[in-house]
Amino acid sequence: MVAKKLPYKNLAGITTCPGGWLVLPARMAGITVAAEEAFVVKNLFDVLDYRPSFDAAAINAPMGLKDFPDGPWRACDVDARQYVGWPRAAAIYGVPSRQSFQERSGEAAARTEPWMNAADKRRFHRMREAAQELQPYHARRFVPAHPDVSFTAMNGDVKLKTSPWHEDGRLERLQLIKDQLPGVDDVVTRTPPVGAHPKMLIDAAAMLWTARRQSGRAISRFPLDPTWDTEGMRTELVR
């Protein structure tokens, strides 16, 4: 029996949060995106195995890694930092190598990645989880993105100068969401689920915007010339 094609696509914007992974799901019919209630899951596996499965999803996590320690930046990170400009470039963090993800803690990884600061060590657990769980076949539905890259694209490639942690930055980003994803702004201004911060709901909305572009095959990539790591994963950030 041939499965009946649904009249909509399941999309998601995904970002890390203190409770694990924050997921903002939505249904897209035509050009209309209707967001559903965001939720938090502890493990990335549960996001990747979520049912009904996502037709397109953008995730704030690295895909494609260097094999060995070679400084913090991949080529896609360098391009993305130039794209978002000062001061938001500082929010695009370095990514440890595949070798370093064999360690079980950020402190241990920092012995081979001396550029890692305290914040890098704290986020190491989630990046390590992404390195272990995300496989080349996931790239058919999941793409790696970053909130600052997405918001810059939403702003017509004009660099944002505000911080999403400050009220003026929050309002600026909410206006972009309202303009680009009407109705989603209502969902992301609600009380966040346990384990997430209000700012992370806004980040998830930026990921959802990129997921919509992915669904329509309208994304562009950093770097322009594609590269793959030794595991067959495309090393990139999309917008």
Q: What is the pLDDT of residues 219-230, one digit of tens each?
A: 999 999 889 999
Structure tokens at 189: 């201004």
Which band of pLDDT confidence, cut at 50, 70 and 90, is reported for residue 120?
very high
Structure confidence at residue 187 (pLDDT): 96
pLDDT surpasses 90 at 47: yes
Structure confidence at residue 2 (pLDDT): 46
Domains of the chain, earliest start first? 9-61+137-221 (3.30.420)
Average predicted confidence (pLDDT) for the chain: 95
What type of residue is 176? L
Structure confidence at residue 131 (pLDDT): 96
Structure confidence at residue 7 (pLDDT): 83
Q: What is the pLDDT of residues 190-212, one digit of tens each?
A: 999 999 999 999 999 999 999 99
Buried b (16+ CB within 10 A) or exposed e, 134-164: beeeebebbbbbbbbbbbbbbbeeeebebbb
Structure confidence at residue 129 (pLDDT): 97
Task: Give the percent of the chain with pLDDT over 70.
Answer: 97
Segment 3-26 mean pLDDT: 90
pLDDT surpasses 60 at 3: no
CA–CA gap between residue 172 and residue 41 (Å, rounded): 28
Structure confidence at residue 5 (pLDDT): 67
pLDDT surpasses 90 at 153: yes
Structure confidence at residue 30 (pLDDT): 86
Structure confidence at residue 8 (pLDDT): 84
Q: What is the pLDDT of residues 58-113, one digit of tens each?
A: 999 999 999 999 999 999 999 999 999 999 999 999 999 999 999 999 999 999 99
CA 225 to chain centre: 21
Of 8 and 55, the structure prediction assigns the larger pLDDT to 55
